[in-house]
Amino acid sequence: MTDGVRATDRDGAPPPFAMAGGVVRRDGREVLSGVDLRVEAGDVLAVLGPNGAGKSTLVKALLGLVPLAAGRTEIFGEPPARFRGWQRVGYVPQRLPMGGGVPSTVREVVASGRTARRSRWLPALVTDRAADRAAVDRALAAVGLAGRARDSAHLLSGGQQQRVLIARALAGEPDVFVMDEPTAGVDAASQAALAATLRGLADAGRTVVLVAHELGPLEPLITRTVELEHGRVARESAPSRTGSTTGSRTGSAA
């Protein structure tokens, strides 16, 4: 492989994410320093590291939500600015964004995960609307919030809001999930439920990138880990599908 960005997988398809020499500066300070990272289809990758190491910045940069000051990154072979397949990517941010002062119900937030699947120009067909409703119902059930669908999302606890955001991503039925600390502030039972959901996604061949401080019950699902320190990849390991670590190395990710 000569170029971390351009290389393709065995089928010739570009990988979900490929970053080469990624640098991000915030307030004139380098918070991501020359990160090389390829995420292959089917990876369940955990991005680990201490507070402030750059984990959230890395996943936002992979998605093009923060610009690179140097280096390159691609989503399914396209730079984020040219990428058009957003229905293939589900992002679970750390917090529920506060939108415009209009309270949204849990169902409305989860249903917004379907938006990228719809045409901007054509009205939704009746069959599309039925598929949307069914996907939203499945997503709500998967995170145990079916009974809270009509509640205001902003009045839920932090852990429940996190589950709403996970459901929003599930509702979009994407190929790739990017989750920023999906277990932060979530009780043990909800973490176990999330682990079961992730197991289903992994078994279905979905790609998952998740940021975590502690893996907890998610640990057995993780196929790769990347550990950041001070904005650099300090360690990379490749635990097996069953979660036991098969190897690790120190240095920059390839």
Distances in Å between the alpha carbon of 193 and those of 89, 94, 103, 123, 185? 21, 18, 27, 35, 14
Q: Does 56 bind ligand ATP (CB under 6 A)?
A: yes
According to CB under 6 A, which one of 17, 44, 48, 57 is a site residue for ligand ATP? 57
Read out DSSP for 84-138? --GGGEEEE-SS----TT---BHHHHHHGGGGGGS-SSSPPPHHHHHHHHHHHHH
Distances in Å between the alpha carbon of 175 and those of 8, 86, 180, 188, 227? 17, 10, 17, 27, 24
Q: How far is the CB of 51 from ligand ATP (least distance, A)?
A: 4
Neighbours of 142 (CB within 10 A): 20
Residue among 135 and 226 whose Cβ is closer to ligand ATP: 226
Residue among 3 and 27 whose Cβ is closer to ligand ATP: 27
Q: Calculate helix-pair angle for 158-171, 188-203, nearest 10 degrees.
A: 10
Residue among 56 and 207 whose Cβ is closer to ligand ATP: 56
Q: Does 133 bind ligand ATP (CB under 6 A)?
A: no
According to CB under 6 A, which one of 2, 51, 242, 246 is a site residue for ligand ATP? 51
Q: Which range, of 37-45, 46-54, 117-125, 191-199, touches ligand ATP by CB under 6 A?
A: 46-54
Considering CB under 6 A, how many residues would be counted as binding ligand ATP? Answer: 11
Q: Does 52 bind ligand ATP (CB under 6 A)?
A: yes
Residue among 175 and 227 whose Cβ is closer to ligand ATP: 227
